[in-house]
Amino acid sequence: MPPKFYQLPRINALIPLRQGCQPFSAAGKLEGSEVVSRHGLGRTVPFNSAASAKAPNGSQPVKQNSRSLFAVGCRLGRSATMLVMLGAAPLLALLTFIAAATPARAAEETENPDVVLLRRHGVSADGRGIAVYLGNLIPDAKSQERIAQLIAQLDSEDFAVREAATRDLSGIGAARQALVAATRDPSPEVSYRARRILANTDSEQEGLLLAALRTIQKQKLTGMAPQLIRLMPMFPKEYLQRSLIESLAVSAGPEDVPLLQTSIQSNRAEIRTGAIVALERVSGEGAIESLRPLLRADDDATRLAACEALVNRLSRECLPVLLALLESDQPQVRVLSDRILRGLTGQKFGYLGGNLDASARAAIVSKWQQWAEGPGRTAALHVPVSLTPARLGRTLICLNGGFVRGGGNGSLVLEMDEGGTVKPLPVPGAMPLMPFGCQGLPDGHRLLTDWRSQAVIELDAEGKELWRKQMGGNPAAVDRLDNGNTLVALYPNRQLVELDANHNVVWQMAVNGMPSDAHGLENGNILVALSDQGKVAELDRKGKEVWKVDGLQNPWSARRLPDGRTLVACTSGSRVVELSPDGKTLWSVDSIPNCFDAVALDNGNILIANAMGLREVDRQGKTVRDRPVGMVRRISVY
């Protein structure tokens, strides 16, 4: 018997308009709306309606909760026609009310974006409000029973019952884990509807959760350890796991020690990892005896977490564990173990992520073992070890097609190691890549943009393709944001686009020029190079310029440095400049042909991508070294 959704017309074609509001989509969401309730979903707040006009600056925030007259009519339970029938006087009063709210809305834009997002979803950005929100994501016994009933109704013979269950499940944030399980249901109807609900609610729910977690961290809100631990298995994506672990470490207190000691023995790896980090933060040296046995745990992730927690207290004891983890079959475990070892010992024997084959990895591990058995026995260990992400000693290189000196095997993407060895990076695909943008990530992954196929691609540490997204325009640059989303600059489209972890467009904005480079900043703004306009600007999420420098000669790249300065590579001007926060030129180097990109190195020098290859210059403008690999359009040092 074929699945029920094949026997009937498309779901949204059979849903009637409801009191003048938008029709429900296939997943039960209102078209052009987000659904939010005490569970994180349910209250109808219109956004991005197909009929809504663009903002004057061309900005198109895909999930902005802007209210229109029609939206207000929906909230009042009236149809759009009924709103017009109210007459001119009430309509004028309504317009006056909306106008009066405008200053408050403008003030809201200057607030912390996480606080604004939480407020718009009815969540108070304080300890009590966030604790309630997190608790509502976790189903209690009564909720579990109701969710199970609704999932069973997804397979009902009655179409109306299936539709009602879809709508109800879309409004229950606590249903997420059950819906994930339902995607594997043997019934095609149940699995189909569960996937559709998750596709329509995941991005929204994950964004709201991330805002809550960042608020916990910034405000150091305590008392939420039980909720955070229970949420860990429900949100397995890496960027959410990192934020959950950090939030748990911030929120846990001495009263949570018994819970943390129990959790480090959990059969869920993500719970063990989070509890290990939190227990060390809370108990300090008092955690040693509880965590020491985990250095001999069966799984690599737990042993690595124990090393991270104990390396500054038991450095000699952690050393052989870290050396053994260099041979893990998990690339990220190898990369992180190598990073800790570098910080602890000051030694560097090669990068263990990437697409290295087993023999190449074995050669690097052998060098570490030889050091440990020789000089390492008596060598001083450097503690404390910084566990913040550090560069892995790799440089990702995008060559300009047709100007290749040493690509090898037709690859236009290269990687250079710390010793200067350059190797081609094979990229899956039927056609050769035309790379314009790239970024190496701390876990060894790489983001690439392909001008020819108009795609953004992510490769894992082994070089395997994780995902590929067609952008509908030529992508010139790509940047992984702090929230785990991906920012893409579409050059001829004059547009910036943000993709969530599911590769859905969650924000887009037109810009007044062709963006050749774009980077997310800590304050939520975007630093963009508009090459055709000769301008570098910092834009807020509405497109307003909060900082700019004009009069540059074809600025192809712009990077904000930690001290607030901005490094710009100007292609036509054959010049790299460093700009102060007030737009003054603080430093520059000239006569570098077609410099497309520039990166500040840890040693204080500047690495410049140019027409001949790579050039490293010092702060006096003197050339330290040249690497002629061909015309380089973009680089990423990671």
* Enclosing domain of residue 87: 4-195
pLDDT band at 182 (very low <50, low <70, confident <90, very high): very high
Please check whether residue 19 lies inside any domain of the structure. yes
Q: Are 502 and 491 in contact (CB under 8 A)?
A: no
Whether the per-residue pLDDT at 406 is higher than 50: the answer is: no
Strands (E), 8-106: 33-36, 43-46, 59-60
Let me know whether 187 and 324 are in one domain.
Answer: no
Please check whether residue 250 lies inside any domain of the structure. no
What percent of the chain clears pLDDT 70, i.e. is strictly above it?
78
Amino acid at residue number 224: M
Helices 113-120 and 88-109, axial angle in degrees (round to 10): 150
Q: Among 390, 418, 443, identify where a domain stops.
A: 390
Sign of CA dihedral 616, 622, 628, 630: positive
What is the signed CA dihedral for 284, 285, 290, 291, rounded to 10 degrees?
Answer: 80
Whether the per-residue pLDDT at 86 is higher than 70: the answer is: no
Let me know whether 189 and 54 are in one domain.
Answer: yes
The pair of three-digit structure tokens given for residue 463, joined into one six-digit string:
């070089």
Give the per-residue pLDDT at 197. 93
Sign of CA dihedral 74, 80, 83, 85: negative
Whole-angstrom distance, CA of residue 86 vs CA of residue 480: 49
Determine if the peptide bond prior to 384 is cis (ω within 30°): yes
Least confident of 74-83, 89-98, 338-347, 564-573: 74-83
Let me know whether 315 and 190 are in one domain.
Answer: no
The pair of three-digit structure tokens given for residue 596, joined into one six-digit string:
């497309």
Give the per-residue pLDDT at 110. 47
Whether the per-residue pLDDT at 606 is higher than 60: the answer is: yes
Which segment, 113-122, 286-295, 378-387, 417-426, is predicted with the most confidence on average?
A: 286-295
Nearest to 253 by CA among 218, 225, 290: 225
Place of tokens 């440089």: 395
Give the per-residue pLDDT at 100. 52
- Residue 341 or residue 433, greater confidence: 341
Let me know whether 179 and 318 are in one domain.
Answer: no
pLDDT band at 411 (very low <50, low <70, confident <90, very high): low
Give the per-residue pLDDT at 356. 59
Q: Among 359, 390, 421, identify where a domain stops.
A: 390
- Residue 84 or residue 177, greater confidence: 177
Please check whether residue 603 lies inside any domain of the structure. no
pLDDT band at 60 (very low <50, low <70, confident <90, very high): very low
Q: Which residues pair with 625 in a beta bridge?
A: 616
Whether the per-residue pLDDT at 203 is higher than 80: the answer is: no
pLDDT band at 111 (very low <50, low <70, confident <90, very high): low
Q: What is the mean pLDDT of the chain?
A: 81
pLDDT band at 282 (very low <50, low <70, confident <90, very high): very high
Give the per-residue pLDDT at 19. 33
Whether the per-residue pLDDT at 580 is higher than 90: the answer is: no
Give the per-residue pLDDT at 95. 46
Give the per-residue pLDDT at 335. 76
The pair of three-digit structure tokens given for residue 2, joined into one six-digit string:
């074929």
Q: What number is the average pLDDT over the span 379-387?
A: 86
Please check whether residue 83 lies inside any domain of the structure. yes
Whether the per-residue pLDDT at 59 is higher than 80: the answer is: no
Least confident of 413-427, 556-570, 578-592: 413-427
Amino acid at residue number 567: L
Q: What number is the average pLDDT over the span 415-423?
A: 82
DSSP class of residue 12?
G
Whether the per-residue pLDDT at 27 is higher than 60: the answer is: no
Whole-angstrom distance, CA of residue 162 vs CA of residue 310: 52
pLDDT band at 23 (very low <50, low <70, confident <90, very high): very low
The phi, psi pair for 536, rounded to 5°, reads: -120, 135
Q: What number is the average pLDDT over the span 79-101?
A: 46
Let me know whether 186 and 329 are in one domain.
Answer: no
Whether the per-residue pLDDT at 101 is higher than 60: the answer is: no
Q: Centre a 10 Å sphere on the Cβ of residue 77 and count the other Cβ atoms it contains.
A: 11
The residues, ordered by sequence, that sit 6+ positions from 82 with a Cβ below 8 Å of its Cβ are 20, 73
Let me know whether 53 and 181 are in one domain.
Answer: yes
Whole-angstrom distance, CA of residue 94 vs CA of residue 97: 5
The phi, psi pair for 85, rounded to 5°, reads: -70, -10
Q: Tell me: the pLDDT tens digits for 216-225?
A: 998 999 999 9
Give the per-residue pLDDT at 401. 61
Let me know whether 330 and 186 are in one domain.
Answer: no
Nearest to 506 by CA among 207, 211, 212: 207
Give the per-residue pLDDT at 389. 55
Give the per-residue pLDDT at 390. 54
The phi, psi pair for 411, rounded to 5°, reads: -80, 135
pLDDT band at 326 (very low <50, low <70, confident <90, very high): very high
Q: Tell me: the pLDDT tens digits for 183-198?
A: 999 999 999 999 999 8
- Residue 352 or residue 473, greater confidence: 473
Q: What number is the average pLDDT over the span 157-171?
A: 94
Give the per-residue pLDDT at 351. 63
516: left (phi over 0), alpha (psi -120 to 50) or beta: alpha
Please check whether residue 277 lies inside any domain of the structure. no
Greatest extent of the chain over all pairs of C-alpha atoms, in Å: 89
Give the per-residue pLDDT at 53. 35
Q: Are 292 and 316 in contact (CB under 8 A)?
A: no
Let me know whether 40 and 170 are in one domain.
Answer: yes
The pair of three-digit structure tokens given for residue 6, joined into one six-digit string:
């094949």
Domain count, the chain: 2
Give the H/E segment covering residue 448.
Answer: strand 446-450
Give the per-residue pLDDT at 387. 65
Q: Tell me: the pLDDT tens digits for 2-13?
A: 444 333 333 333
Please check whether residue 67 lies inside any domain of the structure. yes
Give the per-residue pLDDT at 148. 96
Let me know whether 183 and 39 are in one domain.
Answer: yes
Q: Among 334, 365, 390, identify where a domain stops.
A: 390
Q: List the alpha helices (DSSP H) in 137-175.
A: 141-153, 159-170
Please check whether residue 109 lies inside any domain of the structure. yes
- Residue 269 or residue 201, greater confidence: 269
Q: What number is the average pLDDT over the span 428-450?
A: 88
Nearest to 353 by CA among 329, 371, 372: 329
Whole-angstrom distance, CA of residue 630 vs CA of residue 611: 7
Q: What number is the average pLDDT over the span 149-164?
A: 96
Please check whether residue 186 lies inside any domain of the structure. yes
Q: What number is the average pLDDT over the span 166-175?
A: 91
Give the H/E segment covering residue 109.
Answer: helix 88-109
Whether the per-residue pLDDT at 41 is higher than 70: the answer is: no
